[in-house]
Chain A
Amino acid sequence: MIAPTTIGLAIFYLWPIAQMFYYSFTESGPFGGQTWIGAENYRALLAEPSVFQSVLNTLVYTVIQLAGIPLAVLFATLLNQRGLRGRSVYRALYFLPVVTMPVAVAMLWRWMYNGDYGLVNYLLSLIGLRGTHWASDPAVALYAVAAIGIWMSLGYNLVIFLAGLQGIPAEYYEAAAIDGSGAVRTFARITVPLLSPSIFFATVLTVINSLQMFDLAYMMMSTPGSAAGSGNPALPRVRTISYLFYQKAFVEHDLGFGAAIAFVLLGFILVMTLIQFRLQKRWVHYG
């Protein structure tokens, strides 16, 4: 019964990890084939500024995505109020970006962000502000991409938190009300601690997903007639680890270097996840 999945996973997932490890110590010959070069890729990686910059970009993006979590907790709490009308309509509307294709979403935002004709700059002009070319201004492009990321994942986190909130027994709130606890205090003392397993889960997932971000950055950077966004001046400041991996492995066909970058990504994911599991004892309450 387990044979099909075991064989499939072995061929397409488990064996590739081993192969990738081997690749990361090789370079591609001009006529194909891999030659062993020891730790050369890893040394080159440390020496290349674009690697450092892409790690930094990825971490900045990830930290900004974490700001989406309190936002989702806030909206989930608003939506969870007893007797609120239109809850399921709101929930569906907020969830819509989760089911739309990230590539299409990125195209849509690229249009909204357009420096000359975009809706964002028009709305800013109404309140007397001047926008910029959001997708190609190196100073802001990463933040513009990060804003899309938060917008896209809000509905997902919201649903996770709504499920968590509905698991909190009403008696706790009744007891708090009898004790004369105000809304803010109730939120801080009851809602947040009892929701903490869901918050922890959403945080771990957000970090893992953000560290791998590719689609949005790729689509925001792509420029007519140039491979992998190389014509966009903001590319160095937006390129994530995953983007650099794609560029090295599949545009420049340097499989070994690409493999080494993939292991850097794995390292970040493992370390960040491990840290979060270590820290959870301090703040996550399991009932």
Chain B
Amino acid sequence: MADGTMTGRRPMRHAGRVATHVVLIIGAIVMVGPFVWQLLTSLKAFSETTRVPPTFLPDRWEWSNYLQVFDLLPLGDMFRNTVLMTAGRTLAQLAFCSLAAYAFARLRFRGNNLLFGLFLSVLMVPSQLFLIPQYVIVQDLGWVNTLPGLIVPGMFSAFGTFLLRQFFLALPRDMEEAARLDGANPLQVFWHVALPLARPGLLALTILTALWSWNDFMYPLVVTTDPAKMPLSAGLGTLQGEHFTDYSILMAGSALATAPMVVAFILLQRHFIQGIAFTGSKG
């Protein structure tokens, strides 16, 4: 632990500590306050949301707002689409990226540097550059408004390959050498030795891919037009665009859409933060 600002004597130190907490608490209110307001609004009647000055707690707790969102939107379908899209992309990336990453980290093959360079170039290019051709491919395959359309292009990732390659490169080689001397082929070494050791990397990739898939917006907006086939992000976009401005309902919908990731974050907090910090130090 480094100590950057507290170098004064005791009373000053105490005053400094109090000031620190005051600043941090104000910051925390700014960061979390909007979410509290979202939840409170989602439980008010429409007429109450348009009252000036606003009420803090709802006069009457309208839990039915959360049921009403389901009437306005095929929210159940959207939840299913989002879960399947997120799971499909994440599982596929774990499998495909770890295989490719291990090959790049450990195996010498013809053209590996050229190929890795091409992978890296994909990392540099903004997603907008792939979007039109991806849309054309999805359309040609008849995958508009389907789960494969939502999932398949997201199954492959240059970022994931790069991230896991860094993990494999950092592993000590002796265990793999030993396994190879015992007659294991590269796939067996990968599966039995390297992959278990790279678990922190796999976890980081899982969290990052799941988060990005759950929240992905522009791509689903392009490849789905039927609300029942949309994931939550695109679905909420159309809810706000096409329907009225009943903010209690809109807040109920947005709270429901974010809840799963927030719960996952609370449960796996340390891993979320480590995953993010890891991309920071290795990026």
| Residues A5 and B52 in contact in the complex (CB < 8 Å), given A173-B2, A225-B242 | no
Contact A242 B128 (CB under 8 A): yes
- Chain B residues within 8 Å of A117, by CB: 49-52, 54, 247
Residue of A nearest to B99 (CB): A1
User: A107 contacts which of B27, B32, B254, B265 (Cβ < 8 Å)?
Assistant: B254
Contact with A94, one of B3, B28, B128, B261 (Cβ below 8 angstroms): B28
Given A5-B99, A99-B211, A112-B34, answer yes or no on A90-B24 (Cβ-Cβ < 8 Å): yes
A14 CB contacts on chain B under 8 angstroms: 118, 121-122
Chain A: interface secondary structure?
helix
In the complex, the answer to whether B265 meets A99 with C-beta atoms within 8 Å is: yes
**B143 CB–A CB distance under 8 Å:** no
Quick check: is A15 within 8 A (CB to CB) of the other chain? yes
Kindly identify, within residues 223 to 257 of chain B, every residue whose CB is under 8 Å from any CB belonging to chain A.
232-233, 236-237, 240-245, 247, 250-251, 253-255, 257
Choose from B21, B153, B241 the contact partner of A224 (Cβ within 8 Å): B241
Total interface residues in chain B, CB < 8 Å: 105
Given known pairs A95-B265, A101-B261, A107-B240, the reply for A12 and B28 (CB within 8 Å) is no
Whether B100 and A165, one on each chain, are in contact in the complex, defined by CB atoms closer than 8 angstroms, is: no
Which size bracket describes the interface of A in this complex? 35 or more
Q: Which residue of B lies closest to A181 (CB)?
A: B7
Q: Is B90 an interface residue (CB 8 A)?
A: no
Given contacts A101-B214, A250-B222, contact A2 B130 (CB under 8 A): no
Please name 9 further chain A to chain B contacts, defined as beta carbons within 8 Å, in addition to the given A108-B254, A183-B7, sorted by A numbering: A82-B6, A90-B27, A91-B273, A99-B261, A108-B35, A116-B52, A156-B276, A159-B273, A173-B2
Q: List 30 A-B contacts (CB under 8 A).
A: A1-B187, A4-B100, A5-B100, A6-B100, A16-B137, A20-B133, A23-B132, A77-B5, A78-B20, A81-B5, A81-B6, A81-B20, A82-B1, A90-B27, A93-B28, A95-B272, A99-B211, A101-B233, A103-B217, A103-B233, A104-B257, A108-B34, A117-B52, A170-B3, A190-B4, A198-B281, A215-B217, A224-B243, A245-B128, A259-B132
Residues of chain A at the chain B interface (Cβ within 8 Å): 1-2, 4-6, 8-9, 11-17, 19-20, 23, 75, 77-84, 86, 88, 90-105, 107-112, 114, 116-117, 119, 122, 125, 151, 154-156, 159-160, 162-166, 168-170, 172-173, 176-177, 181-183, 186-187, 190-191, 198, 201-202, 205, 208, 211-212, 214-215, 218-219, 222-225, 242, 245-246, 249-250, 255, 258-259, 262-263, 265-266, 269-270, 273
